[in-house]
Amino acid sequence: MSKGVLATDKRGIRELGAEEKVGWDEVTQGVTLNSFVGESENAAFLKAEERNYNDFNSYTATVASWRIIKPVYNRDICIDCQNCWVWCPDTSIISRDKQMLGIDYDHCKGCGVCVEVCPTNPKSLLMFGEAEETEAALASWPEKKKKEK
């Protein structure tokens, strides 16, 4: 009988009552885990939320609880340069047709790389405490810095 794999925030731990499933550290060596259910040839052309992910695909597991700080995005300043999208190590910048749309907070780990590479003045992404409301963060956005002569 084939075994399913758990993809929850408790991955790696066998859950009580889920004996037909195994954790990531219990998978038999050499086993193939399909990322998608059914046909997957066109997956690259679909938006992430339209793909039919398997339950054990890491996309289905949120890491939001890992963060203590989060990036907040300010659309008013962004120039859609895509730097943040290129550099985010967790593919957590949402961009469509080369337009920055925001942050995938289910998968963002709060590393701050996107803020570091944002070139605008002031930056279009800034780190705030995880509990900060977006409106309050946007209201406290810094002014443009003047060049020192």
Residues at the site binding ligand SF4, with contacts judged by CB under 6 A: 71, 78-84, 88, 90, 92-93, 100, 103, 108-114, 117-118, 120, 124-125
What whole-number distance in Å separates Cα of residue 3 and Cα of residue 112?
38
For residue 143, the tally of other CB atoms under 10 A from its CB is 7
State the nearest-atom distance from the C-beta of 9 to ligand SF4, in Å: 17
Q: In a 3-state reduction of DSSP, which class is residue 62?
A: coil
State the nearest-atom distance from the C-beta of 101 to ligand SF4, in Å: 10
H/E segment holding residue 85: helix 83-87
Return all residues near 123 (Cβ < 8 A) that are at least 6 apart.
77, 115
Q: Would you say 6 or 93 has its CB closer to ligand SF4?
A: 93
CA angle 57, 90, 138 (to 5 degrees): 125
141, 120 in Cβ contact below 8 A? no
Q: Would you say 56 or 73 has its CB closer to ligand SF4?
A: 73
Q: Would you say 5 or 101 has its CB closer to ligand SF4?
A: 101
State the nearest-atom distance from the C-beta of 42 to ligand SF4, in Å: 26
Q: Would you say 11 or 109 has its CB closer to ligand SF4?
A: 109
State the nearest-atom distance from the C-beta of 129 to ligand SF4, in Å: 13
Q: Would you say 51 or 123 has its CB closer to ligand SF4?
A: 123
What whole-number distance in Å separates Cα of residue 99 and Cα of residue 85?
10
State the nearest-atom distance from the C-beta of 39 to ligand SF4, in Å: 30
